[in-house]
A and B are shown apart, each in its own frame.
Chain A
Amino acid sequence: MRDLQVSLSQTQRVRFQSALQQLKDLSPGSGPAATVVVADSIPVNLEDSVLKGHGTAESDGQLVATVCGVVERVNKLVYVRPFRARYKPEIGDIIVGRVIEVAPKRWRLEINFSQDAVLMLSSMNLPDGIQRRRTAVDELNMRSIFEEDDVICAEVRGFQHDGSLQLQARSQKYGKLERGQLLTVPPYLVKRRKQHFHHLEDYGVDLIVGCNGYIWVGEHLETGENVMLEDQDNHMEKDGQSNLKLKGDQDEEGTFTSVETRRNICRIANAIRLLSALGFTLSLEAIIDTVELSFASNISVKDMLAAEFYVQTAEREVQRRVSKLRKKA
């Protein structure tokens, strides 16, 4: 969602504008020259043998930006860090993606990159957890691990010679994600951290913030529980086939996420939707803070996306940044 189409009242609009203005005043004074748009020239002394990084090109003896963003200088390297763009993978990134094809010995995943990513059967731990050569039987059983449309979490392994992006999932924490919802946000709002898996114990929720802007919010599962759910799914399918549809429905109802946990999942998901619509960084603190604010102001889950809370969240972001600056000082 690009921006929520909230209709603000006169006072809300004034409050919102003032919050935005404050954010502008608070933003680190990188100076006007540091923000560039396409074709702006970047002042450098070309004789100092600068290294032209991403988002720059040389034209008529000048260094110009090829994307809109902020100029960064690291020693001799000059590059432009863009805001809105597709995901740019880096080795070791934790990503969330969706399987779009099961191919021989590999899965192809959509991860908001300019191409599909590849997860080889050989770069993932098998469900039995034993390290061994992959057999032909494993290859035939690939669909029992991941099938089309499954949401999975993995790590960026690197690029192949042919330019394709390789993933790996060599740990228990990676794998299929179920019982929850997938949100997509612009990747520039996600910062690379040490930790991208969060178990929010207070809420019983697992939050996985993929570096590619795909965020998973789901019921907390201890590793190993997945298998059980799968069994139930299979069981259900069989029920459906044998025309016991009604019974299947009732069976299914027993396996649903509890209302309490669901409410938390939706609350966290809406906090993320809201922050991303406002264009604020999606740090864990900001997400949790927004959720807590919604509790404190007694906002129902669906009203988190309505006008009043939209403005409140913007004002809250100002407070957060002010206190962060104070801490630094």
Chain B
Amino acid sequence: MEFVNPLTGFRLDGRRPNEMRHIRGEVGVVANADGSAMFEMGNTKVIAAVYGPREVQNKSQQLNNQALVRCEYSMANFSTGDRTRRPKGDRRSTEISLVIRQSLEASILTHLMPRSQIDIFVQVLQADGGTRSACINAATIALADAGIPMRDLVTSCSAGYLCTTPLLDLNYVEDSAGGPDVTVGILAKTEKVTLLQMDAKLPMDTFENVMQLAVEGCKAVAQYISEVLLENTKQLESRRGM
């Protein structure tokens, strides 16, 4: 299958190889949460809600020098193209929960909130490739909305390699083509990588290019998230007045 048109250089959905899908972020979508956000990357759509920092619910998990960060990833039944009813807590979602938690924990200043707990819940409404990335991006906005101190914005984006071309932000069709899929999460300002996953073989020098492309994608997402948060903060400021 031709994933990149050899004549025009365009991908199946009309994007250029280094072009990201349309991204959209919205702050404050869940009424009762401390912080919440919706994030869309093309057709992929996720909601993140943050509860806390609050009293640790299970005292045996309490940490005396830092906050306990927990994360749960769940997929709605209707989120995938083929409807599937999946049990909660299958291995895939456990793994993704772990990945999201670890990459965000790298940024949260947990030592400022000892003996407390922060819960991050991400809910996939629509999955069309790149759910991991979308979840991390949504969770970052939700954490910022909850006023939880962070070292930096964690953003994520994926890139792949099909038809001898590095492609940014794979959608479901491209993702299931069997090529490598490199998901990268970075601390945007310092450009430090907090998440890196790849699931196929790739020559070393090509990998470098693909990864570089993904990092560029992360930076673009960070730029966008920063704008969304700034707009939101200004709105809060001008509404509150003095």
Contacts and interface: CB of A to CB of B under 8 A. Distances in A.
Is there a contact between chains A and B in the complex with CB atoms less than 8 Å apart? yes
Given A37-B226, A38-B152, A114-B116, A67 B237 contact: no
Contact of B190 (A37, A59, A114): A59
A149 B115 CA distance: 23
A66 interface: yes
Contact of B115 (A35, A67, A163): A163
A59 B189 contact: yes
B28 A3 contact: yes
Interface in A104-157: 110, 114-116
Contact of A115 (B116, B144, B242): B116
Given A84-B146, A86-B34, A163 B114 contact: yes
Interface residues of B, number: 44
Contact of B145 (A24, A39, A84): A84
B147 interface: yes
Contacts of B55: 110, 114-116
B238 interface: yes
Interface string A202-244: 0000000000000000000000000000000000000000000
A182 interface: no
A35 B53 contact: no
Interface string B26-47: 0011110011100000000000
A68 interface: yes
Contacts of B176: none
Nearest to B236: A83
A35 B190 contact: no
Contacts of B116: 114-115
B35 A84 contact: yes
Contacts of B188: 39
Interface string A51-70: 00001010110001011111
Nearest to B54: A114
Nearest to A117: B55
B206 interface: no
B150 interface: yes
11 contacts: A24-B238, A37-B229, A39-B150, A39-B151, A68-B147, A69-B233, A84-B146, A84-B236, A86-B54, A86-B147, A281-B242
Interface of A: 1-3, 20, 23-24, 26-28, 30, 35-40, 55, 57, 59-60, 64, 66-70, 82-86, 110, 114-116, 163, 188-189, 278-281, 317, 321
Closest 3 CB pairs of A and B: A85-B147, A114-B53, A279-B239
